[in-house]
Structure 1
Amino acid sequence: MTLKTLAQSLVAAALIATASSAAEHESKAHHEAHWDYAENGPAHWEEFSKTCGIGHHQSPINIVPGKSIALNPQYVLHLDEDIHTTADIIDNGHSIKVTPKAGGMIELGGEKFRLLQFHFHGKSEHTVDGKRYDMVAHMVHQNPETKQLAVVAVFFTEGKNNSMLDNIIGNVGREARIDPQDLLPADTAHYFHYIGSLTTPPCSENVQWYLLKTPVEASKDQIDAFRKYYVDNERPVQELFDRSIEAN
């Protein structure tokens, strides 16, 4: 091999190594990028899932009670959440998430949806007449056959101490005994309903949303304790487009 050929070979090898290193760095950087509520917040979520940017049935939305229509009977909500079980309570980097070992369920139009998990936001994501509630819990259910999701939202207002919230905040990172029904208000017969999406990437649509009209209470100390974990983990409200909001 001549010196010229050797030099050319070394240059080619160096270029290949540089390109490989750059590709590896780019792949690693892409892998490490993750959506959040700050640097990679809602304005950038389309980079993680195009549906977040182009979907026309996105959540959350602003509920205007005066513009709602009567609930279609096929969307009547039947709750059966009274299950005494244990649950894993974790801080997943976006919220405090509670995953019951044995979930309750809801029934919609004769179809059953199992409770997968519920999690919290430091302010409500949905607004009612432009108002955000002090906190919200999202109870995420899934039809085991069709895999369709249905979410029941429970709003919180500042008031008396909430024993369920005490149990959850006091056991982050541990397992605890819970009953999901303890999260619900006494009145579960009145709610808003519409078809929307997940409020985090991938922002998947065709999610049945139920927002209970009656809020539950939590003390100021409890709200402050939760907000030490998360206070701004809410997505801005999205356009309603051609959707109707039903009320019961």
Structure 2
Amino acid sequence: MLKSFLIDYLQQEKWQPDGGEAQSPIAIVTQDTITQTDENAGLYFSFEKEVCNFNNNGQNLQLLALGEAILNGERHVLMQVHFHSEAEHTIDGQSFPLEGHFVYQNGNGELAVVAVLFAEGEENQEFQQVLAEFDSENALMISAELLLPENKSYYHYTGSLTTPPLTENVKWFVLQENLTVSTSQIEAFCALHGKNRRQLQPLNQRTVFAYHC
């Protein structure tokens, strides 16, 4: 398996954003969010198969699965799932050891990312299966939906990819409910992948919305 990655997280100051002042990740401050009340703003997920495959693009180990989602009233197709350690977003100053990104694309080619924050706690059986297959990159029998929390309340803002080319106009949905991973799982991920967290970016003039199920 390819062990070296093209992205150097120790020299992020050399990354050249493909955009302006709407970069990700950000520090979410809940008291500054605006509540979203549109009844069509919920998130709905479906996954077609339980067989997932791995792809190593030289930047990230990606979990490939078939699925769709309705995100804020718009249909999107699942592209891939990957993880970052430590987590890239913070909530009210709280950091998390792991963050999962479900990357989607709509019919116009626009990207959306559903982010899941993992707190340190009990072992996550589904994530353990992912860890077990990362090294061999074999097909994996798992339901990707089990890597999402039951409650789909979220924070929403417009940002960017968190890896070069850092393209903007990406719609972010950071789920409010956390899942857990154990200390040993965090250590195992870092041993396989290394730490791959982009530094927090200025919010600038953007608004962060909150939707509560």
What TM-score, normalized to structure 1?
0.77
Higher helix share: 1
Among 45, 49, 52, the residue aligned to 1:87? 52
What is the CA distance between 1:229 and its match in structure 2? 2.1
Q: RCO greater where, 1 or 2, for CA within 8 Å and sep 6 or more?
A: 2
User: 1:97-124 CA distances to partner (integer Å, 9 max, x unpaired)?
Assistant: 1012xx2221135421011100001111
Contact 2:44 2:71 in 1 (8 A): no
Residue 167 of structure 1 corresponds to 129
State whether structure 2 residue 24 is matched by structure 1 residue 59.
Answer: yes
User: 1:169-225 CA distances to partner (integer Å, 9 max, x unpaired)?
Assistant: 10112111221111011211x110001110011111111100111100111111111
Residue 186 of structure 1 corresponds to 150
Mapped to 2, the partners of 1:57 and 1:74 lie a distance apart of 27
Unaligned runs of 5+ in 1: 1-32
What is the letter of the counterpart of residue 118 of structure 2? F
What is the letter of the counterpart of residue 77 of structure 1? G
Mapped to 1, the partners of 2:182 and 2:48 lie a distance apart of 25
Mapped to 1, the partners of 2:166 and 2:138 lie a distance apart of 29
Unaligned runs of 5+ in 2: none
What is the letter of the counterpart of residue 24 of structure 2? S
- Could you say what the CA RMSD is over the residues aligned between the two structures, in angstroms? 2.0
Larger radius of gyration: 1
Q: What secondary structure sits across from 2:189 in the alignment?
A: helix
Q: How does 1:1-248 map to 2 (within 5 A)?
A: 34-38=6-10, 41-46=11-16, 50-51=17-18, 55-71=20-36, 73=38, 76-100=41-65, 103-143=66-106, 145-172=107-134, 173-188=137-152, 190-248=153-211
Mapped to 2, the partners of 1:75 and 1:242 lie a distance apart of 25
Q: What secondary structure sits across from 2:117 in the alignment?
A: strand
Count, aligned residues: 205
Higher strand share: 2
What is the CA distance between 1:60 and its match in structure 2? 0.3
Q: Percent identity?
A: 35
Contact 1:83 1:181 in 2 (8 A): no
What is the letter of the counterpart of residue 144 of structure 2? P
Mapped to 2, the partners of 1:66 and 1:239 lie a distance apart of 17
**Aligned in 2, Cα 1:176/1:146: closer, same or farther, shift over 3 Å?**
same
